[in-house]
Structure formats: structure tokens, C-alpha cells
Structure 1
Amino acid sequence: MALSHSVPFETSVPEGFEIGTVLKIRGVVPSEANRFYINLLSCDKPDSDIVLHFNPRLDQSIVVMNTMECGTWGSEERVFPNVFQRGQPFELLLIAMNEHFKIVVGDSESYEFIYRLPPKRSCLLKVGGDVSLELLKIF
């Protein structure tokens, strides 16, 4: 994909997230940032299920992960500490493993989110909020 994506950003994931699929994001968290999100959705309709909602909340110093099915949010998984820092660049890998998403940030922190919805259902990627994207690649 091209460099310097404007936010909000969305792209289709026509093959879905098969086991072994990797999403690589390189970006910068603006100095006045509060929150941003990375969502994997089942389609591009407003009431689409969210297979993965990854939400660094700099205003609360946590990362929240969740799903939304049939318009209802699941239970939040809150992770401490939040390794995203205002004014700092980051590199994130989101990897579809056998039973969970593995999210690796830089070379210092990783998160796991056990599948509640099959990753194969992911057909749309959306990134939004307080973030600047430099690189986004799915392989």
C-alpha cells in the first residue's frame, strides 16, 4: 500500500485474515493524541460485526481490545501499560495465529486477543482517531 495514508483510512481485505496473515502498520502518535483505533470488520455496512477492535487510549494509559457482534459490544479486555506514547513513532504487527490475534508493538510489547469471531470473517480494515499512518501493509 502507499505511504502517508490519511486518517480515517479503510481498505478491503478480500481474502480475510487467514492463519498467518500479518498486518504491518508504521505510524506516529501526534503529541496531542487521546485515542486511536484499528478495526477489522466483517463488511462495510454501518452495522457490521467488528472481529477485532484495538484501541490505544493515551488519555487513560491503557489499550482496550474487544469485538462487536450483532450491534453489541463484548466484554473489554484492558491491557496495562499502554506502550504508545504521544509524539512518538511506532511499528505494529497484527498476526493471525491459530487461536488468537498476536499484536506486537516495536520489539518490546505484545498483546494476545483470543478469537471471539473467526478472523476469516474480516473483510475490511479501518484505522482512525488520533494517529498518523506512514505505512500499512497486509501480507
Structure 2
Amino acid sequence: MAIYKPTIPVTSIDGGLREGKSVIIIGWILPDANRLHVNLQCGSDSEADIALHVSPRYENGSPNIVYNTYKNGSWGSEQSTPDSPIIKGKLFAIEILVTKEAYKISANGKHLMDYKHRIPITKVNTISLDQNIKLEFIGYQNSLVVPYKTLINGGLQPGSSILIFGVPNTDSKRIEFNLRHRYGIAFHYLCLFDENVVVRNTSENGKWEAEERSRGVPFIKGQLFQVKISCNRGYYDVFVNGQQAHTYKHRFTKLEDIDVFEVYGQLQLIFVHV
């Protein structure tokens, strides 16, 4: 589930927390921010207990991230990690995976910290966010594994879109997205890093059609990307990090029959919304 443009500074956590659930926060840090926070807390009032306080800080010229808990009116002992991957003015994705013992915290695909629980996760029901964050959305999901496959309920239609956030591995060879139907692949989008080529194609009953190829893979190894695949009446638009990358005319036109989205390749898949 994703909440687009949620209310800042406080929003409730859909269904609360449980083991195996990830909270994904995606947005931008404002360029003049000195510090900010993402809090998982027990209620929405100003003195609520904070089970997890994640605070990227930029004040000393060497960005770091501080972690802490606020309980019964007092802060606990701080923990921190240096060399924050969260850069002011750039897109970021923070993932907080809930496990039995700890929160596993990552940013832009980089693991930062296993923060042991100091407050039971059953008490956590709210996210508090700093005004220095230009928030895109908050998502809740189980951890994603590549190869990845998900159903598109009701199939595609003009106006549908799929949103993907991920980080190519530093040794990535290929990243592949497929929009599939019962008899084949309506839209195949393949990035080949070694050749620096993007391939688009369609297959039916195991037979590929004439492929479209262009130079210039729109991803950078090790860096967070945002891909939006928009389904229009006659074509697909592919946007990467907000910029139009490719257009592909429909060859399979029964859009309502396209009911599966797939991801393959060497990448850390952070979030998918269909």
C-alpha cells in the first residue's frame, strides 16, 4: 500500500507494525536543511513515545545519521552512522524493516543500522516527519526479492501507471521490466549495462517481434532510481527520475488482459506500486 503526498508532519501507520513489514519513505531533502527526522512513534501528540528516531544531520560538513528512542519524557542513548547516503536536494528512499529483535534501516539501498527495539512494536502506530522533507509518498510492504512478480488487478487501462524504486548493483549487467499477459509479454524493457543499450520489444506465444534499441542506459550503478511506466491510449511512456526516457507504441492492444508485472536483473528492489 502507498500513501501519495501524505499529510506532514504526522500520519498513521496502516495496520500498525508487525514482523516482516517494511515502511518506505520516499522524497527529497530540502537544500537548506541542517537536520531532519523520521519518527516511528506511539500516538500523534507532541509528547508521544518515539520507538525509533532517524535523524540525518548536515551541520558539521560531514553528514551522519543519528538514531534514538524517546520514552517517558526522556531520550535514550544515541547511536549513529557516518557517511550518510541521503544527500540534500536529491531523491532518497529510507526503508525500515521490522524484525523480531530490531529495525533494519537502509537508505538508497545501503544498509545502515540494526536498531534494537526499546519499545514494543505493537505500540507503534504513527509516523512523524520533518518539514524539511518534500515527501513523495509512504509505502508499506513485505521485503521485495528479485526476480519479482506481482498481479495487476483488473489489468491495465489508459491512465494506469506503475512506479518502481530500486538501486542497480555495482556489478549489474541487466535490469528488465515486463508487462505480461496470458500469452506473452506486451512490453519488455531491458537495460544492458555493458552495451549501454535499452531494448524494447513484445512477444507472443514464445516468439519475439522486431526489437527497438537505443543507446544510453538511464540508470547509474549504485544510485537510487525512480521509474514510472505510464499506459496511455496508444503507447507506453517510461519516465526515469522524472524525465521521459522512452516511448513504446502498443503492439498488444488488449490492455485489460495485461495482468502481471515482473522485474529481473541485478538490483536491489525497494518499492513497487501498481
Same fold (TM over 0.5): yes
Distance 1:115 1:104 in 2: 17
SS in 2 for 1:117: coil
Counterpart of 1:74 in structure 2 is 209
Counterpart of 1:6 in structure 2 is 145
Are the counterparts in 2 of residues 3 and 136 from structure 1 also a CA contact under 8 Å?
A: no
Output aligned runs, 1:80-119, within 5 Å.
80-118=215-253, 119=255
Question: Which one scores higher on RCO, CA 8 angstroms, separation ≥ 6?
Answer: 1
Question: 1:73-112 deviations in whole A, cap 9, x for unaligned?
Answer: 0111112211111111100000001110000001234210
Distance 2:244 2:206 in 1: 31
What is the count of residue pairs matched by the alignment?
134
1:120 CA displacement: 2.4
Distance 2:200 2:165 in 1: 19
Structure 2 gaps, min length 5: 2-140
Counterpart of 1:124 in structure 2 is 260
Is residue 2:51 matched to residue 1:51? no
SS in 1 for 2:170: coil
SS in 2 for 1:60: coil
TM-score (normalised: structure 2): 0.47
Distance 1:108 1:13 in 2: 24
Distance 2:221 2:142 in 1: 21
SS in 1 for 2:187: strand
Distance 1:7 1:71 in 2: 22
Question: 1:25-72 deviations in whole A, cap 9, x for unaligned?
Answer: 0000010000011111113xxxx3101111111111011010001211
Q: Percent identity?
A: 26
Structure with higher Rg: it is: 2
Larger strand fraction of residues:
2
Is residue 2:168 matched to residue 1:29? yes
Whichever residue aligns with residue 120 of structure 1, its letter is E
Distance 1:109 1:100 in 2: 13
SS in 2 for 1:120: helix
Structure 1 gaps, min length 5: none
Are the counterparts in 2 of residues 83 and 109 from structure 1 also a CA contact under 8 Å?
A: no
Is residue 2:269 matched to residue 1:133? yes
RMSD: 1.3
1:21 CA displacement: 0.3
Are the counterparts in 1 of residues 218 and 245 from structure 2 also a CA contact under 8 Å?
A: no
Distance 2:261 2:219 in 1: 20
Task: Please identify runs of 4+ aligned residues in structure 1 that moved more than 6 A.
Answer: none
Distance 2:195 2:189 in 1: 14
SS in 2 for 1:128: strand
TM-score (normalised: structure 1): 0.90
Distance 1:29 1:75 in 2: 27
Whichever residue aligns with residue 214 of structure 2, its letter is V
